[in-house]
């Protein structure tokens, strides 16, 4: 785990969480909540999803290159979006 890729995944997770909530009109968590949930989901999920799909090994060995950045944005964004959507859904269902 390298700090630069973790920061890229957390930032893209925050963007993905807000984008997913805006696309589905799901404002259960609010902007700050979607940002925090997306960043946490992007950081943690990206660290799990990258090696699971076999995307992290070559990037970690070669340092920070374009492939590592794109992989970080993809895995962090997707996992951040899913985390924000699931938490928003659960919060909405618990409120009713």
pLDDT of residue 48: 87
Which pTM does this prediction carry?
Answer: 0.84
pLDDT of residue 81: 94
pLDDT of residue 1: 60
pLDDT of residue 82: 94
Q: Please state at what angle helix 30-52 crosses helix 66-95, rounded to 10 degrees.
A: 130
Over residues 53-94, the pLDDT tens digits come to: 776 555 455 567 888 888 889 999 999 999 999 999 999 888
**Confidence class for position 33, pLDDT limits 50, 70, 90:** very high
How far apart are the C-alpha atoms of 51 and 54, rounded to whole Å?
5
């Amino acid at each position: 785990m390298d700090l630069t890729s973790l920061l890229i995944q957390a930032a893209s997770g925050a963007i993905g969480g807000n984008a997913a909530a805006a696309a589905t009109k799901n404002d259960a968590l609010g902007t700050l909540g979607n940002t925090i949930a997306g960043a946490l989901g992007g950081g943690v999920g990206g660290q799990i999803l990258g090696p699971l799909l076999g995307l992290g090994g070559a990037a970690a060995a070669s340092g920070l290159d374009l492939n590592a950045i794109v992989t970080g944005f993809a895995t962090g964004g997707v996992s951040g979006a899913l985390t924000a959507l699931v938490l928003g859904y659960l919060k909405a269902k618990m409120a009713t």
